[in-house]
A and B are shown apart, each in its own frame.
Chain A
């Protein structure tokens, strides 16, 4: 649904995708000529020799910047490093992009099998944090902030995307195994699996996890909304899921963990829902790091000047500027949008029509909040007008008559406030 119905009194209602019983078969993309691996840290001083251009890497090999403990990335292919450069992600996240020219045949690194022997979670976490679904397992090993609840979302967080639901429906054995490992090793008191309400019957009682049904209406699958539904409170200013003792994980990540333990190899194929310009969709399985352009080629999508390419779904995704961007472990969907279907945001002021108020699932006074945020008064917005109750679903921007990028203002405000806190602490 893209346009306002003629009789516009009722609010727009969106529902998540529900896969039919005959599951689609994913298209597999084999051996792209190059892959880009994203090491989740900025480039530092002297890099370890294994990152030198010209060095050969094996499939499943753990690459780190240097020998000091820190984030790593597991190579999804066998090949030769061609280039190492800095990459700036969304909201200032810093990465080191490692471009690897691939070889036809895979040669496997045995590091993970060795780590499996020791069966120590922090050793496994180094390898498994970058598996498809991007589970942040290092949080489970942090003694300062123990995690008491792991919430696995078996549905997707955005509209039109069915990556995770497909995984839940097609790989129950892997998920059961993954849950078993988390239960045994993670020390979390509770593991919760959320599934769409309609398919609750199919999953309840099949796992070592508590299965809860989530309403199928958008945005009840959003992590912030699930958190509120579960704990009846919001993530207030300065709080993170981690220090509330909660870890969110995609079903795909849990399945990948289960698969890793069975095969003793690090999974490297990411399942992606590809939405073309006509709104048709296809499931694609590709190596992590595959350039988006390769996937578009395989699915017959061509982009023209002024089109839009989005990683993620239509409501909460991220637009990217180049087809060279790689598929990452948390890329659930790729959406191509034709230039003619793009509605530009505007700098028009709020006319106080109240559409956002009626659509907001969090009961925020969006019309007033956006006035504070437009003026840069982020703290006032948080103190007086419930900035932190926002679940970041984007419905307000979707219905805005003035086409104000409300969600962008909200996320910018949260980002700026989160940035200010460390500065204040540093001054104390």
Chain B
């Protein structure tokens, strides 16, 4: 009975598939990196400064607030890095340092930690931070105003603002391939459709993102844009233009499918994604803002708990 060998005792099951939270976050970061690198290629060193500061300050906030609140240090799970990276990818390359640091504070602390940390955030932290800051400091999120001193070798205006202000004709000259390869004004990491799609396919294939959300988001956006375009081709730009500009693709693959703020059952995921796409186009075409993704994503985050109640009947349940 005084066996010196101490065995590990735990509850069944005794196997685990081997997945883990850090692995998941690091894979999403890897998938987002090509788009971020394309952003660096388009905007140069200032973009690198914004991205670096964004990641570093997000990690700093998470570490600092956890230490202050005497909670377990959760920096190691990679979620703060992911939030910092995604937030940085949404910003214009010329964002001032204080905007980045305030933004990551809003994302990490107000968007996530005060709700209880990873898994408890009702909104996508990066999107929430972008929304709060873009309402507070409007000019700093005006891509045209921010990048006015830059000389770029591609279309030097923000396509969505131009399309909103002057109709389809203003953007008719922009080749879609230029948009697809990321030669456009916009968020640092949001421009290159090719890199975002590749990252998204990687995440879907490896099971880190559920395909229902990106696909229905894109379908909702594409169909709504097509309907607008058909109704008034002069006023509303075509669906491909809307798909490749602004935050459309980064939202479809990285912002909307954020684990904690998105549904997990099939039908709710389809509703969630479609509604996100539709709302984006409604805001872009009918609303006041040239870019609708941010508020569309916040809105679908808000309905997530409600739609996720639509779930398959458990076995043996009749009602």
B-chain residues with CB within 8 Å of residue A397 when the two chains form the complex? 12-13, 16
Stretch of A121-129, A163-171, A247-255, A306-314 lying at the B interface? A306-314
Q: Is A306 in contact with B6, judged by CB distance below 8 angstroms?
A: yes
Closest residue of chain A to B1 (Cβ to Cβ) is A324
Q: Is B118 in contact with A351, judged by CB distance below 8 angstroms?
A: yes
Q: Is A9 in contact with B207, judged by CB distance below 8 angstroms?
A: yes
Closest residue of chain B to A366 (Cβ to Cβ) is B264
**Shortest CB distance A281–B (Å):** 15
> With A305-B6, A322-B3, A398-B17 given, is the CB distance from A234 to B12 under 8 Å?
no
Closest residue of chain B to A339 (Cβ to Cβ) is B8
Q: Mark B2-22, 1 if CB is under 8 A from A, else 0.
A: 010111111111111111110
A-chain residues with CB within 8 Å of residue B207 when the two chains form the complex? 4, 7-10, 355
Report Cα–Cα, A130/B264, bound state, in Å: 46
Q: Is A317 in contact with B9, judged by CB distance below 8 angstroms?
A: no
Q: Mark A39-79, 1 if CB is under 8 A from B, else 0.
A: 00000000000000000000000000000000000000000
Report Cα–Cα, A367/B259, bound state, in Å: 12
The answer to whether B70 has its CB under 8 Å from any CB of chain A is no
The answer to whether B52 has its CB under 8 Å from any CB of chain A is no
Q: Is B13 in contact with A386, judged by CB distance below 8 angstroms?
A: no
Q: Is B204 in contact with A408, judged by CB distance below 8 angstroms?
A: no
Q: Is B265 in contact with A357, judged by CB distance below 8 angstroms?
A: yes
**Shortest CB distance A218–B (Å):** 11
Q: Is B317 in contact with A312, judged by CB distance below 8 angstroms?
A: no
Q: Is A8 in contact with B24, judged by CB distance below 8 angstroms?
A: no
- By DSSP majority rule, is chain B's interface helix, strand, loop, or mixed? loop
Report Cα–Cα, A364/B314, bound state, in Å: 5
Q: Is B12 in contact with A315, judged by CB distance below 8 angstroms?
A: yes
The answer to whether A342 has its CB under 8 Å from any CB of chain B is yes
Which of B13, B77, B116, B205 is in CB contact (< 8 Å) with A394? B13
The answer to whether B120 has its CB under 8 Å from any CB of chain A is yes
Closest residue of chain B to A231 (Cβ to Cβ) is B316
A-chain residues with CB within 8 Å of residue B119 when the two chains form the complex? 348-352, 402
Closest residue of chain B to A411 (Cβ to Cβ) is B11
**Shortest CB distance B190–A (Å):** 24
Report Cα–Cα, A294/B202, bound state, in Å: 50
The answer to whether B173 has its CB under 8 Å from any CB of chain A is no
**Shortest CB distance B279–A (Å):** 22
Counting residue pairs across A and B whose Cβ atoms lie within 8 Å, the total is 178
**Shortest CB distance B121–A (Å):** 10
Closest residue of chain B to A316 (Cβ to Cβ) is B12
Which of A233, A319, A395 is in CB contact (< 8 Å) with B9? A319
Report Cα–Cα, A324/B5, bound state, in Å: 11
Report Cα–Cα, A349/B8, bound state, in Å: 23
B-side interface residues, number (CB < 8 Å): 45
Q: Is A310 in contact with B14, judged by CB distance below 8 angstroms?
A: yes
Which of A234, A323, A365, A367 is in CB contact (< 8 Å) with B315? A234
> With A228-B315, A352-B259, A354-B264 given, is the CB distance from A2 to B15 under 8 Å?
yes
Report Cα–Cα, A234/B314, bound state, in Å: 10
A-chain residues with CB within 8 Å of residue B10 when the two chains form the complex? 308, 319, 342, 344-345, 405
Interface residues of B in 196-212 (CB under 8 A from A): 204-208, 210-211
Report Cα–Cα, A35/B12, bound state, in Å: 26
The answer to whether B260 has its CB under 8 Å from any CB of chain A is yes
**Shortest CB distance A220–B (Å):** 12
Report Cα–Cα, A367/B3, bound state, in Å: 40
Interface residues of B in 147-181 (CB under 8 A from A): none
Q: Is B206 in contact with A399, judged by CB distance below 8 angstroms?
A: no
**Shortest CB distance B71–A (Å):** 12
Q: Which of B11, B15, B205 has the most CB of A within 10 A?
A: B15
Which of B12, B13, B211, B264 is in CB contact (< 8 Å) with A357? B264
Report Cα–Cα, A93/B17, bound state, in Å: 31
Report Cα–Cα, A261/B6, bound state, in Å: 43
Which of B9, B12, B315 is in CB contact (< 8 Å) with A321? B9
A-chain residues with CB within 8 Å of residue B262 when the two chains form the complex? 352
**Shortest CB distance A318–B (Å):** 7
Q: Is B12 in contact with A317, judged by CB distance below 8 angstroms?
A: yes
Q: Is B15 in contact with A320, judged by CB distance below 8 angstroms?
A: no
25 interchain pairs, CB-CB under 8 A: A2-B17, A6-B206, A9-B204, A10-B207, A233-B316, A314-B14, A314-B15, A315-B13, A319-B7, A319-B11, A321-B7, A321-B9, A323-B3, A324-B3, A339-B8, A351-B260, A353-B24, A363-B311, A363-B312, A386-B317, A391-B315, A397-B12, A401-B19, A401-B20, A403-B20
Query: 18 new A-B pairs (CB below 8 Å) besides A357-B265, A408-B11?
Result: A2-B16, A8-B208, A10-B207, A304-B5, A314-B13, A315-B15, A316-B12, A321-B7, A351-B118, A353-B259, A353-B264, A354-B259, A365-B311, A367-B264, A388-B316, A401-B20, A401-B21, A403-B20
Binding site for A on B (CB under 8 A): 1, 3, 5-21, 24, 77, 116-120, 204-208, 210-211, 259-260, 262, 264-265, 311-317
7 nearest A-B residue pairs (beta carbon)? A234-B316, A8-B207, A354-B264, A394-B13, A408-B11, A386-B314, A343-B16
